[in-house]
């Protein structure tokens, strides 16, 4: 024994049973952080690959900059690569063809294709002006292979190319459709075609940084140095977002929420450990008093308690980290094999340095933070506590209880809970935090649900047929023909026309974009109705609905003059088929009256279980080449998987938080009973029976539960409303309402937790001989 | 020269009508090496007086001077260090650290002072206390008398000028009581330490150099009783 601090490890070995609870609290905190960070790390790894594949590996895009400026920027030490790309006819609205299909033309350089977008799937990248790389759907749409010759037809003439490879910089856009093919050619060839057709050239410059973590700073630097207007710089939001570098408003909101949730989890850990340590210290008042008597300074006591806490970390951190990693593997395996989709590439048995380090670091930091209050409390134990034999709980009672002593055991129980204000605060805060987290996470679920409209739309199609540029080229006859194909469950039509001049009761509205919904779609929209009554929309009613999002100035109650006819906005939904800006949605009949058009812009098809590849082929053949055919099934499946994963992760998170709360209250009541065991022994000796004892402990537990419920629900409801308005109402229009069901679940959980906390300690003390409780110290 | 000087020390608990005067202007002094017993009824104020001397509690008025230093003029940090180096405590309930062995319990105050324990002195103390055979035992493996001997060893190890003992024999049988008292006397003599001991027992008090009686918060010096 070289130092007084050696007592920490000696005591740790002897007091294993007493320390078990606190160590368990630390383990839970560490494993929670390790699991969350590790799963997030694995998800980011999997997503990064997927997102790079989908959106490219560039970080920012600059418009309207000269070749010279770009060259200067490329010499910046933090810039890894610069590539050029320009696109034409990606909407397919111009008469540019490859074979019989619409051609989207891309003029690119090799850096862009090879380094910035990982475009190549098969073959080679274009090297000369006669080479082209085609999007993969060209294999089916044009029946071509590498080495074949293809002709790009333009209004000013044709140009022949050789197919050197397949691939694209936006695989998702071309996947599942055969109406349009992407044609990637070298920039000189592209410029030549554009010049022939008298189309101005305006390439975009794509920049990849050496270190994405500095992307935000370097972008600002470049913007200032070259005086680039705000609108000329755009970022690869997905890639920058994952690196925490996005300047996108929505991403910033998400970062903020992630930070708030992280702080809440950290606080929950601190409160849990702190509560446990406080009880641990409270049990040893006499010991600390004796230490002070024989010469330990306050600072030495603080150091002792801190070191004791760190000593627990020796066991708790490795156990927490290992358990957290095992849970992470389980979650990753479930996401990969159980859910699949975008999680199919998720590593399962990978170790996450971020998770391991943050688990250990946050564990130690949490413990040190949590030790702060008990350490100070221990240091304030007067040396008198050793000689007088009085515990701190007795000393801290400065006044008698003012409550009427009718049921003395209940009065005493409540008094035990409220006597130490700090302990009461810590336990109330622990309960409250869990309740606040419950309420906030439920908003997260609502947000995730709204983010994936395909999950919540009953009319979500498996296949869509769309007119180029939303032209109304699909007639009722086609819809009827498709509905007769075996394997087709349901067919609906929708028309769309934009920029229709309008006069509104609101001054800032000078045009509207009108969408028609079929009766089936209107029936289904009842689910996403936010405001008003949808039944008024049906038929030639002249009543319309709108999409309630932040970009749409049209509100329920507005009256709008369109084509000389007055229409009234009678209800609002959270999301529509087309973008929400200036959007009004009406029945097919009202649409025909307002626009004189009866054809559809889009036909949506839902397939039955009997559907086969033949069904899809038949629909495709009916669609013809002037219609965009899109198979949405894979995307729908991916959305469903993502929703399932979001639910799984958020519910798991809620379950863990619930577990922490439950454990915390059980632990705290158990420790509180242990700390007062002598007092309880004395009470039993003077005639308190087992039931009274249980009621006394229950009164203490329920005092914490009720105060936690009141504070947690109060703050949680305000925070839930705030988050809901920020995330859901702002983007999807839905209004917040009091989460009554959730609150009821919380009350039940709260009550059950308190009841569970009473059971074991009450049983323990009832079964203990009175003499043992009196003599125990 | 007096080691301890207590001047006009009063202690009142509570205020107004509920005020309880535990000590009323108590004054006395104790020279170095003297062995003093304080006697009195339960609730007479003797423990309060001992707590004031040990700087465990603060008086309402008056002052306590130990080795020429007025202890209540020191801040908490200085007072802790002063207490650590100059005062040794012996409790009725022993208050040993259950996790530490006999030897570790004895040297513990020295470790709190970041000093290296004097092995020679430790051996000597263990021998005087008759604990050599038990040096590696835990308190739970000792009898009450042995535990109190360890507590005495702990109080003596830092060589404090003043040892305060609050009914050190309260939990012991008559044989152990005699042994402990004998030890305290021997220590007082051998190491020139001043001992102030609270006791209920007149016979134990008779073994002291001087007896002070506290009654209803007032102190009476019953004078020297040892030859």
User: In the numeric block, which tokens belong to residue A32?
Assistant: 């929670």
Residue A394 in this model has a pLDDT that exceeds 70: no
Q: Write down the pLDDT at residue A744.
A: 93
Chain A residue with minimal CA distance to B108? A4
Chain B residue with minimal CA distance to A2? B111
Chain centroid offset of residue A182 CA? 33
Alpha carbon distances (Å) from A402 to A239, A392, A393, A423, A679:
62, 21, 18, 20, 20
Q: Global pTM? A: 0.64
Q: B56 and A387 in contact by Cβ < 8 A?
A: yes
Q: Residue A387: its chain B contacts at CB < 8 A?
A: 47, 50-51, 54, 56, 89, 91, 166
Model pLDDT for residues B115-154, shown as the tens digit of each residue = 888 999 899 889 888 889 999 998 888 988 888 889 888 8
Residue A389 in this model has a pLDDT that exceeds 70: no
Question: Hey, is the C-beta of A486 within 8 angstroms of any chain B C-beta?
Answer: no
A693, A684 Cβ separation under 8 angstroms? yes
Model pLDDT for residues A108-140, shown as the tens digit of each residue = 988 888 888 878 889 998 988 899 999 988 887
Q: A299 and B97 in contact by Cβ < 8 A?
A: no
Model pLDDT for residues A760-776, shown as the tens digit of each residue = 888 877 777 665 554 44
Interface of B with A (CB under 8 A): 47, 50-51, 54, 56-57, 76-77, 80-81, 83-85, 88-89, 91, 93, 95, 97-100, 104, 107-109, 111-114, 154, 158, 166
Residue A172 in this model has a pLDDT that exceeds 80: no
Chain A residue with minimal CA distance to B87? A294
Q: Write down the pLDDT at residue A182.
A: 92
Q: Which of A129-133, A217-221, A417-421, A674-678 has the highest mean pLDDT?
A: A129-133
User: In the numeric block, which tokens belong to residue A314?
Assistant: 């020796």
Q: A295 and B54 in contact by Cβ < 8 A?
A: no
Q: Quote the percentage of chain A above a pLDDT of 70.
A: 91
Chain B residue with minimal CA distance to A15? B99
Q: B108 and A294 in contact by Cβ < 8 A?
A: yes
C-alpha to C-alpha distance for A98 and A160, rounded to whole angstroms? 10
Which of A295, A298, A383 has the highest number of chain B CBs within 10 A, making it the mutation to test binding with B? Answer: A295
Residue B85 in this model has a pLDDT that exceeds 60: yes
Q: A297 and B80 in contact by Cβ < 8 A?
A: yes
Model pLDDT for residues A650-703, shown as the tens digit of each residue = 787 777 777 777 777 777 787 777 777 767 776 776 667 777 888 888 998 899
Contacts for A758 with CB less than 8 Å, ≥ 6 apart: A669, A694, A697, A698, A701
Residue A436 in this model has a pLDDT that exceeds 90: no
Question: Hey, is the C-beta of A624 within 8 angstroms of any chain B C-beta?
Answer: no
In this prediction, residue A402 has a pLDDT band, given cuts at 50, 70 and 90, of very low
Mean pLDDT of all residues belonging to chain A: 82
Chain A residue with minimal CA distance to B97? A287
Q: Residue B88: its chain A contacts at CB < 8 A?
A: 294
Q: Write down the pLDDT at residue A150.
A: 92
**B223 burial via Cβ count (<10 Å: 0-12, 13-18, 19+):** exposed
Read off the pLDDT of each residue in A160-187 and give the average, rounded to a whole number.
85
Residue A392 in this model has a pLDDT that exceeds 60: no
C-alpha distance from A304 to closest chain B C-alpha (Å) = 11
Read off the pLDDT of each residue in A246-271 and give the average, rounded to a whole number.
68
Q: Write down the pLDDT at residue A287.
A: 83
Among A273, A429, A304, A307, smallest CA distance to A378 is for A304
Residue A427 in this model has a pLDDT that exceeds 90: no
Chain B residue with minimal CA distance to A3? B111
When mean pLDDT is compared across A449-453, A735-739, B2-6, the lowest value belongs to A449-453
In this prediction, residue A387 has a pLDDT band, given cuts at 50, 70 and 90, of low
Read off the pLDDT of each residue in B41-49 and give the average, rounded to a whole number.
87
Q: Write down the pLDDT at residue A318.
A: 94
Q: Residue A298: its chain B contacts at CB < 8 A?
A: 76-77, 80
Mean pLDDT of all residues belonging to chain B: 86
**A612 burial via Cβ count (<10 Å: 0-12, 13-18, 19+):** exposed
Report the residue from B85, B91, B108 with minimal CB separation from A387.
Answer: B91
Q: Write down the pLDDT at residue A390.
A: 46
C-alpha distance from B95 to closest chain A C-alpha (Å) = 7
């Amino acid at each position: 024994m070289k130092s007084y601090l050696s007592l920490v490890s000696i005591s740790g070995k002897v007091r294993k049973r007493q320390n078990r609870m606190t160590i368990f609290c630390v383990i839970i905190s560490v494993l929670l952080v390790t699991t969350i960070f590790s799963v997030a790390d694995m998800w980011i790894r999997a997503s990064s690959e997927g997102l790079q594949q989908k959106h490219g590996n560039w970080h920012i895009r600059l418009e309207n900059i000269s070749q010279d400026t770009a060259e200067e920027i490329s010499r910046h030490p933090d810039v890894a690569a610069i590539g050029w790309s320009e696109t034409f006819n990606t909407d397919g609205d111009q008469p540019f063809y490859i074979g019989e299909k619409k051609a989207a033309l891309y003029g690119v350089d090799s850096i862009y294709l090879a380094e910035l977008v990982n475009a190549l799937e098969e073959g080679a990248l274009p090297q000369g002006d006669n080479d082209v790389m085609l999007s993969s759907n060209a294999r089916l749409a044009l029946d071509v292979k590498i080495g074949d010759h293809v002709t790009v037809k333009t209004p000013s003439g044709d140009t022949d190319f050789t197919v050197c490879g397949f691939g694209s910089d936006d695989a998702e856009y071309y996947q599942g459709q055969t109406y349009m093919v992407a044609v990637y050619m070298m920039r000189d060839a592209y410029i030549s075609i554009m010049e022939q057709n008298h189309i101005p050239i305006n390439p975009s410059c794509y920049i990849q940084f050496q270190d994405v973590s500095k992307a935000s700073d370097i972008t600002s630097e470049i913007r200032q140095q070259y005086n680039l207007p705000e609108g000329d710089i755009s970022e690869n939001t997905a890639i920058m977002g994952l690196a925490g570098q996005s300047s996108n408003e929505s991403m910033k909101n998400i970062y903020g929420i992630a930070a708030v949730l992280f702080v809440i989890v950290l606080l929950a850990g601190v409160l849990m450990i702190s509560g446990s340590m406080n009880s641990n210290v409270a049990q040893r008042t006499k010991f600390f008093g004796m230490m002070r008597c024989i010469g330990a300074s306050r600072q030495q006591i603080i150091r002792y308690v801190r070191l004791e806490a760190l000593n627990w970390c020796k066991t708790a951190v490795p156990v927490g980290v290992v358990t957290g990693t095992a849970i992470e593997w389980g979650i990753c395996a479930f996401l990969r094999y159980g859910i699949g989709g975008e999680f199919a590439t998720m590593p399962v048995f990978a170790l996450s340095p971020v998770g391991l380090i943050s688990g250990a670091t946050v564990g130690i930091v949490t413990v040190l933070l949590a030790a702060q209050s008990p350490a100070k409390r221990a240091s304030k134990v007067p040396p008198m506590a050793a000689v007088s034999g009085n515990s701190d709980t007795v000393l801290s009672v400065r006044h008698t209880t003012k409550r009427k002593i009718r049921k003395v055991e209940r009065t005493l129980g409540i008094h035990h809970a409220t006597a130490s204000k700090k302990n009461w605060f810590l336990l109330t805060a622990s309960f409250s935090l869990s309740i606040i987290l419950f309420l906030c996470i439920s908003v997260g679920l609502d947000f995730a649900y709204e983010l994936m409209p395909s999950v919540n739309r009953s009319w979500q199609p498996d296949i869509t047929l769309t007119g180029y540029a939303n032209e109304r080229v699909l007639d009722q006859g086609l819809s009827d023909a498709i509905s007769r194909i075996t394997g087709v469950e349901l067919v609906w039509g929708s028309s769309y026309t934009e920029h229709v001049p309008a006069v509104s009761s609101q001054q800032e509205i000078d045009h509207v974009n009108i969408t028609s919904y079929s009766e089936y779609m209107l029936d289904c929209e009842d689910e996403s109705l936010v405001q008003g009554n949808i039944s008024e929309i049906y038929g030639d009613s002249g009543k319309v609905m709108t999409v309630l999002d932040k970009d749409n100035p049209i509100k329920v109650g507005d009256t709008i003059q369109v084509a000389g006819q007055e229409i009234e906005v009678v209800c609002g939904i959270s999301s529509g088929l087309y973008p929400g800006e200036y959007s009004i949605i009406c029945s097919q009949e009202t649409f025909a009256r307002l626009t004189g058009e009866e054809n559809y812009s889009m036909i949506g098809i839902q397939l039955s279980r009997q559907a086969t590849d033949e069904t899809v082929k038949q629909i495709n053949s009916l669609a013809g080449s002037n219609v965009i055919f899109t198979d949405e099934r894979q995307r729908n499946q991916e959305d469903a998987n993502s929703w399932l994963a979001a639910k799984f992760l958020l519910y798991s998170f809620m379950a863990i938080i619930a577990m922490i709360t439950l454990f915390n209250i059980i632990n705290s009541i158990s420790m509180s009973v242990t700390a007062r065991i002598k007092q309880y022994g004395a009470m039993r000796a003077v005639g308190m029976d087992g039931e009274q004892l249980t009621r006394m402990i229950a009164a203490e537990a329920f005092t914490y539960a009720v105060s936690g419920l009141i504070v947690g629900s109060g703050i949680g409801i305000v925070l839930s409303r705030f988050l809901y308005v920020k995330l859901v109402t702002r983007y999807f229009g839905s209004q917040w309402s009091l989460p009554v069901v959730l609150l009821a679940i919380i009350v039940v959980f709260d009550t059950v937790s308190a009841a569970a906390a009473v059971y074991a300690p009450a049983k323990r003390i009832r079964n203990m001989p009175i003499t043992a409780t009196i003599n125990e110290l | 020269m007096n080691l301890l000087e207590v001047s006009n020390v009063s202690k009142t608990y509570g205020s107004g009508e509920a005020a309880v005067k535990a000590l009323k202007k108590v004054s006395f002094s104790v020279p170095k090496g003297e062995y003093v017993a304080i006697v009195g009824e339960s609730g007479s104020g003797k423990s309060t007086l001992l707590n004031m001397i040990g700087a465990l509690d603060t008086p309402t008025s008056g002052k306590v001077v130990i080795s020429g230093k007025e202890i209540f003029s020191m801040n908490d940090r200085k007072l802790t260090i002063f207490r650590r180096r100059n005062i040794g405590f012996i409790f009725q309930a022993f208050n040993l650290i259950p996790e530490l062995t006999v030897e570790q319990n004895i040297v513990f105050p020295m470790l709190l002072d970041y000093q290296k324990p004097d092995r020679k002195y430790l051996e000597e103390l263990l021998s005087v206390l008759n604990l050599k055979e038990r040096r590696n035992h835990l308190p739970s493996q000792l009898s009450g008398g042995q535990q109190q001997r360890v507590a005495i060893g702990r109080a003596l190890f830092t060589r404090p000028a003043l040892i305060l003992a609050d009914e050190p024999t309260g939990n012991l049988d008559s044989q152990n009581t005699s042994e402990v008292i004998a030890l305290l006397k021997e220590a007082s003599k051998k190491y020139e330490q001043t001992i102030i001991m609270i006791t209920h027992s007149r016979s134990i008090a008779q073994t002291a150099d001087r007896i002070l009686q506290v009654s209803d918060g007032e102190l009476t010096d019953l004078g020297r009783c040892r030859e």
